[in-house]
Amino acid sequence: MSDNKVKGPASYFPSIEKTYGQPVAHWQKIVRDAYPAKHMDLVAVLKSAHGLGHGHANAIVAYTLAEDGLK
């Protein structure tokens, strides 16, 4: 029996979408629009300008950077 449970940063996505009312793609666009920047600078953009919590912002940034081959 395989374990299909989502792990890693993507495990936060349902909570992020419910809490902030936007799809993850919305937040990923904000991260990508802020390139080039360091991981924690991107986290700070989501936290300070958009009100995301640290864990949610970090998950979005980590996932987006990995998806774009920048991590």
Question: Does residue 54 fall inside a structural domain?
Answer: yes
Q: Shortest CA distance to 66 belongs to which of 16, 28, 22, 21? A: 28
Q: Which amino acid is at 67?
A: E
How do residues 4-48 score in pLDDT, each as one tens digit? Answer: 787 888 899 999 999 999 999 999 999 999 999 999 999 999 999
Q: Which residue has the higher pLDDT, 52 or 1?
A: 52
pLDDT-based confidence at 2, cuts 50/70/90? Answer: low
The DSSP call for residue 22 is: S
* pTM for the model: 0.90
- How high is the pLDDT of residue 4? 74
Question: Does residue 3 fall inside a structural domain?
Answer: no
Q: How many domains does the chain have?
A: 1
Question: Does residue 1 fall inside a structural domain?
Answer: no
- How high is the pLDDT of residue 3? 62
Question: Does residue 4 fall inside a structural domain?
Answer: no
Q: Which amino acid is at 29?
A: K
Instruction: Judge residue 46's burial from the number of C-beta atoms within 10 Å of its C-beta, 0-12 exposed, 13-18 middle, 19 or more buried.
Output: buried
Contact status, residue 59 vs residue 16, Cβ threshold 8 Å? yes
Range of the domain at 62: 9-67
